[in-house]
Amino acid sequence: MLYPLLSILGVAAGMTTLLFGFGGGFFAVPLLYALLIAGHGADAPIGQQAMQIAVATSAAVMIFSSALATWRHHRSGSLRWDLIGQLAPAIALGAIVGAYAALQLDGTWLRWLFIGYLVLTLLDSWLRPGFVSDAGAVLRPMSRAGSALVGLPIGALAALLGVGGSVMTVPLMRRRGASMLTATAMANPLSLPMALSASLVYAMLPSTGEPLGIGFVGLIDLYAAAALALGAWLGMQLASPLVGRIADSLHARAYLVLLGTVLLVMLCAGH
What predicted TM-score, i.e. pTM, was given to this entire model?
0.80
Higher pLDDT pick, 23 / 57? 57
pLDDT digits over 175-233, tens only? 777 888 888 888 888 888 888 888 888 888 665 566 777 888 888 999 999 999 999 99
SS3 for 221? strand
Contact predicate 190/87, CB 8 Å: yes
Domain ranges of the chain: 2-269
CB atoms within 10 A of CB 250: 12
Provide the pLDDT for residue 1. 56
The CA angle 31-67-176, to the nearest 5 degrees, is 90
pLDDT digits over 46-75, tens only? 888 888 888 889 889 989 988 999 998 888
pLDDT digits over 241-266, tens only? 988 888 888 888 888 888 888 788 77
The CA angle 34-257-236, to the nearest 5 degrees, is 75
pLDDT digits over 91-106, tens only? 888 888 888 887 777 7
